[in-house]
Copies of this chain bind each other. A is one copy, B any other.
Amino acid sequence: MGDLTQLMDNEVFRAFASYAAIILSKMMLMSTATAFYRMTRKVFANPEDCATFGKGENAKKYLRTDDRVERVRRAHLNDLENIVPFLGIGLLYSLSGPDPSIAILHFRLFVGARIYHTIAYLMPLPQPNRALGFLVGYAVTLSMAYRLLKSRLYL
């Protein structure tokens, strides 16, 4: 077990673990937000989900789409599209021996930008608030990919 806990003794890796766990937990909240809007607005995608509101044709009227629910789902999918590259590239970048202060700055910027992106998407705030959150997270991830490939490329 000693070897493993040594990984977590590394400052960069431990910081990556903390920021990754935080941003993934935030992403999981989007499921709760979707469920909240589906139930309060009675908007469902599956017949079995609205069986308690009526039987047969009476229940079918709840099988519909709703702007609010679709907005949360788009925010959730955008999270997936951006947090998956952060996870993969960030993990490998953390293991490539980067400068700790630069690495931790990357993690903080990414997590801050994605939280801001979610707030801007769900409020919603006028553009370019959401675009800014997206672009900062995107640039941070590409910067980590560039640093990883520059120092450790092996094809």
Q: How far apart are the CA atoms of A137 and B27 in the complex, in Å?
A: 15
B24 near A154: Cβ-Cβ < 8 Å: no
Residues of B within 8 A of A49 (CB): 127
Q: How far is the CB of A124 from chain B (nearest CB, A)?
A: 5
Asked, given contacts A18-B153, A48-B130, A152-B17, whether A95 binds B24 with beta carbons under 8 Å apart, the answer is no
B4 and A149 form a contact (CB under 8 A): no
Say whether chain A's binding surface is mostly helix, strand, loop, or mixed. Answer: helix
- How many Å lie between the Cα of A126 and that of B59 in the bound state? 14
The yes or no answer to A83 lying at the interface (CB within 8 A) is yes
* CB-based nearest B residue for A76: B81
A155 to B3, Cβ gap below 8 A?
no
User: Which residues of B have CB within 8 Å of A20?
Assistant: 88-89, 92
Count, chain A residues at interface, CB 8 A:
69
CB proximity to B under 8 Å, residues A9-41: 10-22, 24-25, 27-28, 30-31
Judge whether A51 and B127 touch: CB under 8 Å: yes
Q: Please, which residue of chain B has its CB at the minimum distance from the CB of A79?
A: B81
Residues in B with CB closer than 8 Å to A81 are 27-28, 30-31, 76, 80
Contact of A4 among B13, B48, B84, B85 (CB under 8 A): B13
Alpha-carbon distance between A31 and B80 when the two chains are bound, in angstroms? 12
Interface contacts beyond A18-B148, A25-B142: sample of 7 additional A-B pairs, CB < 8 Å, sorted by A: A8-B95, A17-B95, A18-B154, A27-B85, A31-B81, A46-B71, A48-B124
